[in-house]
């Protein structure tokens, strides 16, 4: 399950330590088939060459990082992401003090690949989905038995009705403001903030303004 404080608003970019001359990592989820980790790196620190398992998703939270992948060099700033495909050698360099989130899928599962978004190029994650007037819109990026990643865009005053999930759900607000009710408690989140909605606890969402979010749901594996 997700190893973050439950039912508490946090900023992942502030949750991890940023210190000169250090690379600090904190696992959010560690599983047999994938892991989700937040990294903090001091300026000019480097993570040396690694090889992608099946797919790796790198999402910049603060600062600027350089990813050298294959023969390409990509610069990521907050709100941008890079999806690396299987067996891609890559290294990461902190151009400034930086915080980023990594999802690494390294064993096969049902529909394990990141899809519906470009690979091997920098994108702004919020730009991958559009707000439609008086509508709720969603786009599945990863759909597995143990992990799902979904982008949502809700117009102002649109709601996702009260329901429960069998897995812990991490909501990351990309743009706008949302009111999230977990059990009987309301939390108002804005861009850059996130919250974990615990498994089997009723929750609901309402758009205070039009907003976009990334929803990561982690369920117990087989």
Q: What is the DSSP letter of 160?
A: E
Q: pLDDT for 183-211, tens place per residue?
A: 999 999 999 999 999 999 999 999 999 99
Q: Say whether domain 12-124 belongs to CATH 2.60.120.10.
A: yes
First to last CA, the chain: 13
pLDDT digits 0-9 by tens, 69-105: 989 999 999 999 999 988 899 999 999 999 999 999 8
Closest CA to 152 of 113, 125, 120: 125
- Asked: is 126-218 a CATH 2.60.120.10 domain? The reply is yes
How far apart are the C-alpha atoms of 156 and 154, rounded to whole Å? Answer: 7
Q: What is the pLDDT, as a whole number, of residue 111?
A: 47
**Identical fold between 12-124 and 126-218:** yes
Neighbouring C-alpha atoms within 13 Å toward the C-beta of 26? 16
Instruction: Spell out a b/e string for 179-207, using b for 16 or more CB atoms within 10 Å of the CB, else e.
Output: ebbbeeeebebebbbbbbbbbeeebebbb
Is the pLDDT confidence value at 1 over 70? no
The domain segmentation of the chain, as residue ranges, is 12-124, 126-218
> What is the rounded average pLDDT of the residues 135-162?
92
- The answer for residues whose C-beta is within 8 angstroms of residue 108's C-beta and 6 or more apart is 33, 54
């Amino acid at each position: 399950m997700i190893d973050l404080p439950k039912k508490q608003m946090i900023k992942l970019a502030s949750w991890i330590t940023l210190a000169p001359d250090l690379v600090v990592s904190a696992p959010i989820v560690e599983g047999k088939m994938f892991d989700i980790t937040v990294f903090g790196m001091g300026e000019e620190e480097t993570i040396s060459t690694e090889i992608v398992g099946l797919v790796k998703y790198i999402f910049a939270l603060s600062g600027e990082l350089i990813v050298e992948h294959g023969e390409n060099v990509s610069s990521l700033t907050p709100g941008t992401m890079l999806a690396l495909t299987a067996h891609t050698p890559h290294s990461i360099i902190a151009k400034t003090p930086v915080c980023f989130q990594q999802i690494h899928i390294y064993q096969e599962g049902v529909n394990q690949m990141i899809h519906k978004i470009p690979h091997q190029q920098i994108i702004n994650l919020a730009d991958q989905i559009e707000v439609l007037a008086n509508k709720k819109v969603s786009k599945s990026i990863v759909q597995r038995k143990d992990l799902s990643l979904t982008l949502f865009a809700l117009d102002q005053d649109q709601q996702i009705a009260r329901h429960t999930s069998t897995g812990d759900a991490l909501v990351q607000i990309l743009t706008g403001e949302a009111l999230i009710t977990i059990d009987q408690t309301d939390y108002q989140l804005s861009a850059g903030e996130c919250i974990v909605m615990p498994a089997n606890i009723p929750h609901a969402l309402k758009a205070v303004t039009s907003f976009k979010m990334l929803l990561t749901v982690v369920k117990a594996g087989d």
